[in-house]
Amino acid sequence: MLGYPHDVENMMLHPETGILKHMKKGAYVIDHTTSSPDIAMKIAAEAAKLGVNSVDAPVSGGDVGAKNGCLVIMCGGEEAHVNDVRPFMSLYGQQIEWMGSAGAGQHTKAANQIMIANTLFGVCESLIYGHKAGLNLDQMIKLLNKGAAGSAQLEKLAPRMLKRDFDPGFYVEHFFKDLGIALSECERMGLTLPGMT
């Protein structure tokens, strides 16, 4: 798991130092970086030429999920390759899903980040509204989380906001990077998502 798509591309595909061409035939490379679907497809194509099995497998769950071994892992690549590495990934992942061919894991993570961004925006606006309306915000959070508005952001992050605890569980610059990837994919697909702009 690396920071940025260019790090992944350089680490895997660099003409002199890329690791793919130094791997044994039949070996597996699992990339947990949130990267671009395009790079995942390039890596899979190059790996296949070299007899290496590639799985793009970004994760959700942050630091806490990693420490507790309960990450959600979104996999792209050949289904058989995902099944081969599933026992290994189950050591740190509670949910491991094959989503489709190379790049599908990355597309799923983009959808995840779009949903988080929009939900978090709604949670913040809801708290401001509740505050201005004079509601007990702790009570409001508990109540609303039991209904259709319930979400991980409302359950876990809203109480922290009320305590003014803004300690991140994830680097903000990485979230911006992830949303940038999602926006680039939207552009490529000719898709406009108003909540993303």
Tell me what pLDDT residue 170 has.
Answer: 66
- How crowded is residue 79: how many other Cβ atoms within 10 Å of its Cβ? 12
Three-state helix/strand/coil letters over 171-184: CHHHHHHHHHHHHH
Residues 94 and 151 in one domain: no
Q: Check whether residue 80 and residue 154 sit in a common domain.
A: no
Q: How large is the average pLDDT for residues 46-69? A: 93
User: Do residues 68 and 139 both lie within one domain?
Assistant: no
- Domain interval for residue 122: 108-196
CATH number assigned to the domain comprising residue 26: 3.40.50.720
> What band does 195 get if pLDDT is binned at 50, 70 and 90?
confident
Same domain flag for 79 and 122? no
**Tens-place pLDDT, residues 120-170:** 999 999 999 999 999 999 999 999 999 999 998 999 899 999 999 877 666
How far, in Å, are 14, 67, 71, 94, 116 from residue 87 at the CA level? Answer: 30, 18, 14, 11, 28
> What does the pLDDT read at residue 194?
87
The answer to whether residues 64 and 124 belong to one domain is: no
Q: Are residues 13 and 65 in the same domain?
A: yes
**pLDDT bracket for residue 74 (50, 70, 90):** very high
Catalytic residue status for 109: yes
CATH number of the domain encompassing residue 185: 1.10.1040.10
Q: Which of 24, 25, 42, 109 is catalytic?
A: 109
Q: What was the pLDDT predicted at 169?
A: 64
Cα 87 to the chain's mean position, in Å? Answer: 20
